[in-house]
Structures are given as C-alpha cells and as structure tokens.
Amino acid sequence: MSQIETFAVANWSPAPAAADDQRMIATLEAGKVLLLPRLSFELRSDERRFLDPRWSDRRAKNISYDPASAQIKGAIGNSADLEDLRRLLERFHLSAVGLIKNLFPAYGPQLRIARASFRPLPIAGRASSWRKDDSRLHVDAFPSRPNRGERILRVFANVNPNSVPRVWRVGEPFADLARRFLPKLPRQLPGSAALLNALHITKSPRSAYDHYMLHLHDAMKADLEYQQTAPQETVPFAAGCSWICFSDQTSHAAMSGQHLFEQTLHLPVSGLYDADSSPLRVLEKLSRRKLA
C-alpha cells in the first residue's frame, strides 16, 4: 500500500471540505506523506535570482529563517539582496505555518514553530559519513536536542525553475520498522543520559524515547541490506508541488533535486488528534514501558 496520498489543496489558506479534513488528518497521523500537487509556492520574477547556489555561504547546507528573530543565516550577499531573500523566506514561513493551522486547526494552540529553510544547493553526491547520509532511508531524530516524544512536522515545496523533481524514497510504516529494529537496539545504560548532559553533548537529559529514536535512525542507515530490500517506493515530487509529513515517523530518503523550501513545526503528542499513532506511543506499546 502506498505511503503517499494526494490531496487537491490549491492555496496556502485553504478551507477544505470537512470530509477531506478527516482523511487528511488520518493520513498525516498514520505517518504517510500528504502530496499536494496543486499547491505551488510561487516566486515573483525578481525573486527568481535567488534560485542559485551562489547565495549560500557553503558552511551550512541551508539558508535558514529563524521566526524568533526574523533573521536569516547561511546566506551571503549585499544588504539589499539579503533583505529581499529574508522576506522571501519569511513569506514561505508564514505560508507554511498558515497552511498547517488551516488544515489541522486543533494543532494550532500547541504548535512550536521552528525554522524555515531554503536549500539552493543540489542534494550532494556524497555525504561526509553514513550517519549524515540522508539518501539512506531514515526517520528524523536529533542527537543534541532530546524532544521526549515531541513531533517533527515538516512542510516542503519544490520551487525548481527547470522542472527538476525532488526525488525521495519513502519506506515502510513506522510500526513495521519499529517492530523490525526495536529488538536489536541497545538498551539505554543507567546514568548515560546524565553523563551526556553533563558533558553538554545533549542540551537536556536524553529520554529513553530519544535514545531509541537515535538508535533507530542509525540502525536503519547502517543496514545496507535493509536499504535495498525494505518495502519502499520512489517518489518524484514535481517542481511546483508541495508535501507534508511527520519526518520523525515517515521513513524517507532524499535522493536528488535542487531548490527546496522547508518549514519545521513541533507538536507535543498530546496535541495530536490520535496520540496512539505517535512514534512515542508505538515504541511504548512495543517495549511495554514508559519512554518519556
């Protein structure tokens, strides 16, 4: 069964039919990708100059917009150009956050809005290590920022001007990969969370949930046979389309493409329509204990 479902949303402030709402919510929280082929993030003609790797400072793979400061990072240029680029990222940020609030109104009050990013560089041919290689199937987990089950929701828009798709592989449902890998993952050693925190390797103590999610991320990427033989589909996200998924739940691999906008939002498990669908609850059910 495909992990991709298509919806007809065509603008960034939609008011979809109630029936569609329910299907969209169920699809998203099942860990599938909501594909919105009619939802395009349009650049004005004077903004198309930013579809060029020269604006990247090359230290980071993204140019990012921080909603707290309303500033951008990772870009080079003169101050007038950088202000135009900042406004472009801000417009995407506002559009993407508005989209989520319109499509999933119950999330609104509990959302924690993180950065937006623009990726003008092509997906690199070679990652610096297997652990950082996002062309291997994985679920997102952050080594230094324990989140204790908080969700990672992402909105993507392919703005490639030359009709180049962004190609992902999308893997099996989260419950399937959790059942497959959980028995092989190492237990969290007593005291290790406090030690990592004391050494400032993490920004707060790592919960058992964070421990398992990181090891799941690594175990998936390290297993080359799994990468080849796991249930998966190749999805070319066309230029001019958008998509949404919980990237801590959707098994994904970014294979190729250039010129992407992305917005990250966080949501506590209690903010979901169906908390039992979350990776935290799935892992707790399988391990028969509280993990956060």
Give me the residues that bind Fe ion (CB under 5 A), please.
140
How far is Cα 87 from Cα 99, in angstroms, rounded to an integer? 18
Distance of closest approach, residue 105 Cβ to Fe ion, in angstroms: 27
Joined together, the tokens standing for residue 102 give 């319109």
Closer to Fe ion by CB, 123 or 286: give it.
123
Distance of closest approach, residue 217 Cβ to Fe ion, in angstroms: 9
The DSSP bridge partners found for residue 168 are: 235, 254
Closer to Fe ion by CB, 256 or 287: give it.
256
Distance of closest approach, residue 180 Cβ to Fe ion, in angstroms: 19
Backbone angles phi, psi at 3, to 5 degrees: -95, 10
Count Cβ atoms below 10 Å from residue 31 Cβ, excluding itself.
25
Sheet holding 112-119, edge to edge: 4-6, 33-36, 242-246, 151-158, 260-267, 112-119, 63-66, 71-73
How far is Cα 207 from Cα 284, in angstroms, rounded to an integer? 12
Distance of closest approach, residue 131 Cβ to Fe ion, in angstroms: 12
At 116 the three-state DSSP class reads: strand
How far is Cα 183 from Cα 23, in angstroms, rounded to an integer? 33
Q: Are strands 166-170 and 252-256 parallel, antiparallel or unpaired?
A: antiparallel
How far is Cα 87 from Cα 72, in angstroms, rounded to an integer? 9
Closer to Fe ion by CB, 88 or 244: give it.
244
Distance of closest approach, residue 118 Cβ to Fe ion, in angstroms: 17
- Report CA Rg, the chain: 19
At 281 the three-state DSSP class reads: helix
How far is Cα 234 from Cα 171, in angstroms, rounded to an integer? 9
Closer to Fe ion by CB, 20 or 140: give it.
140
Distance of closest approach, residue 86 Cβ to Fe ion, in angstroms: 25
Distance of closest approach, residue 152 Cβ to Fe ion, in angstroms: 9
DSSP classification of residue 126: S
Q: Are strands 242-246 and 71-73 parallel, antiparallel or unpaired?
A: unpaired
Select the residue whose beta carbon is closest to Fe ion and give its number. Answer: 140
Closer to Fe ion by CB, 90 or 140: give it.
140
Closer to Fe ion by CB, 253 or 282: give it.
253
Closer to Fe ion by CB, 66 or 140: give it.
140
Distance of closest approach, residue 134 Cβ to Fe ion, in angstroms: 5
Closer to Fe ion by CB, 145 or 285: give it.
145
How far is Cα 236 from Cα 134, in angstroms, rounded to an integer? 16
